[in-house]
Amino acid sequence: MNLIQEQQLKNFINGNWVEPSTGKSTSVINPATSDSLVQVPLSASEDVKAATKAAKSAQKKWALVPAPQRAEVLYRVGLIMKERKERLSQLLTMENGKVIEEARGEVQEGIDMAFYMAGEGRRLFGQTTPSELKDKFAMSVRAPVGVVGIITPWNFPIAIATWKSFPAIVAGNAVVWKPATETPIMANELAKIFEEAGLPEGVMNVVFGSGSTVGDAMVEQKDIRVISFTGSNEVGRGIASKCGQHLKKVSLEMGGKNGVIVMDDADLSLAVEGILWSAYGTSGQRCTACSRVMVHESVKDELEERLQKEIAKLSIGNGLDESIKVGPIINRSGLEKVKSYISIGKEEGAKLLTGGYILENGDHKKGNYFAPTLFTDVKPEMRIAQEEIFGPVVSLIPVKSFDEAVEINNSVEFGLSSSIFTQDVNQVFAAQRDLDTGIVYVNAGTTGAEIHLPFGGTKGTGNGHRDSGIAALDVFTEWKAIYVDYSGKLQRAQIDVE
Ligand code: NAP
Ligand code: MG
């Protein structure tokens, strides 16, 4: 089966597959093999303008389609994704590198989101509330915002797009989407699925191209009323300040420096499994990846030993091979960045227990592979314990107490995910109260969010919005308050109250 159907991707604007105005494109590289997969357009602001114009006109009609009917399109999208799950998963592994089991999980997340958000077509609840005046009715409804701009990263090329586009679409908006240049194949596939599912033309538009050109042009478009962004802090801050100047609503989901706490009474086998999965899965390239472990000093030696033993068993390679547990890093510069943190850690005095190098022999030479790495005796203020590395690097930080572990967990710039392994119910409840992250896990690693709960974080991770769950609807709707006076006379609020 030839998975790749076209060699040259095209933008999807107003229901048409069109070449970029620039005529330029670049290669998409498989990070496991360095093979070129397809050519992706490098569009310009002209293309963003065309997409925005199409979206604006399509949105007017789309907003008038009853929400349960809008939802039917999402049900069909979910069904097609389900039918194509294996094909999509393999393509995802090829463009992004994550191992096939995780790619299947990611595609499943998109399917779940389709059915969940389709259900919203029959809810989209507002409130009714008594009026303070006689013969007057008061209610609030969710109104679509209009045209929304979606900017997504390469590390979850389909799931994050569904988290954003499905609630936007069911709520009656039209979308302009700029996927990451590294992973456009999933975007191409999702656009085709929308087309086949019968989404009216112009409701979903995809413009490929670099962030600094296409992404920036989206932020500058007056008719794009919301920007929903997931990516790095640096880019997110830039987008937010520009959106501020345009009084544009902006939802940001950014980095993490996620910690696992292992207490003295923890089930250590479970903790080891949870740490391995959340730290080295997707080669640590998850915004929720575990990169710090606050371990109680009484179990530190044993945890170190067990982790090293299990890390040694991790098979590293091309994720299309079912036996592989750890895939490549997305690109060469990502690989170099991870490597740079190894010398930073050593210079700061951390002890390297295992890993810390690029794999350069045999088949590994073709891709961007980094050995799963474990540091110990890390101090909370060290850079490897504070900065997002986005690779398979974990820092063990010894602690003396629960309070110290929580304090260290909360001492970073980010606030996405955290976890605690303990059997003590008092500590469980204290932890879910005191860990200052948007997501808290008990007796599990730092990854594994489900789509019906809000996803996002505090502090440097975001700006107060959430993807996923009902909370996502808040990003893509405006609250509209409606008063209906059936008294036949002018009644003045706050004044004509008897
Ligand atoms: P990135 O460099 O910030 O890119 C994210 C997206 O923004 C890409 O589509 C990129 O386009 C675009 N972009 C770049 N510069 C832009 C600009 N000036 N204006 C508008 N858009 C611009 O992030 P990444 O390297 O792809 O992803 C890794 C980061 O994402 C990590 O920090 C990770 O923690 C974070 N992340 C967070 C979450 C979460 O929900 N909290 C989830 C996943 C990932 P091009 O790359 O095509 O140029
Ligand atoms: Mg980037």
For each of the domains in the chain, give its residue range(s) and CATH number, in order of start: 11-254+462-481 (3.40.605.10), 258-442 (3.40.309.10)
- What ligand has the least distance to the C-alpha of 183? 1
pLDDT classification of 1: cutoffs 50, 70, 90: low
Q: How many CB atoms lie within 10 A of CB 46?
A: 12
5 CB neighbour count, 10 Å cutoff: 12
H-helix or E-strand spanning residue 409: helix 402-409
Spatial separation of the C-alpha atoms in residues 158 and 104, rounded to whole Å:
11
Nearest ligand 1 atom to alpha carbon 181: 47
- Checking if the pLDDT of 122 tops 80, the result is yes
Residue closest via CA to ligand 1's atom 30 equals: 231
Nearest to 372 by CA among 289, 267, 262, 254: 289
- Residue 154 makes CB contacts below 8 A (sequence gap 6+) with 96, 180, 181, 182, 183, 330
Counting ligand 1 atoms within 8 A of each CB, the residue from 254, 446, 468 with the most, and so the one to mutate, is 254
> Cα 99 to the chain's mean position, in Å?
17
Interval 101-119: pLDDT, tens = 999 999 999 999 999 999 9
Q: How far is CA 492 from CA 132, 135, 136, 139, in A?
A: 10, 12, 11, 17
Please report which confidence band the pLDDT of residue 139 belongs to, taking 50, 70 and 90 as the band edges. Answer: very high
434 contact partners, CB below 8 Å, separation of at least 6: 406, 410
pLDDT per residue as tens digits for the range 360-389:
999 999 999 999 999 999 999 999 999 999
Looking at the CA of 288, which ligand is closest?
1
State in Å: Cα 380 to ligand 2 middle.
27
Give catalytic residues, as residue numbers: 253, 287
- Note if the pTM is more than 0.95: yes
What is the CA(30)–ligand 1 centre distance, in A? 19
Residues 155, 330 contacting (CB under 8 angstroms): yes
pLDDT at residue number 23: 97
Q: How far apart are CA 276 and CA 286, in angstroms?
A: 13
What per-residue confidence (pLDDT) applies to 5? Answer: 82
Name the average pLDDT for the chain: 97
SS3 (DSSP) at 143: strand
462 CA to centre of ligand 2 in angstroms: 18
By alpha-carbon position, which residue is closest to atom 13 of ligand 1? 211
Nearest residue (by CA) to ligand 1, atom 9, is 180
Per-residue model confidence as pLDDT tens digits over 31-70: 999 999 999 999 999 999 999 999 999 999 999 999 999 9
Protein residue with least CA distance to atom 20, ligand 1 = 215
Task: Please give the C-alpha separations between residue 53 and each of 173, 190, 223, 225, in angstroms, as whole numbers.
Answer: 13, 21, 8, 13
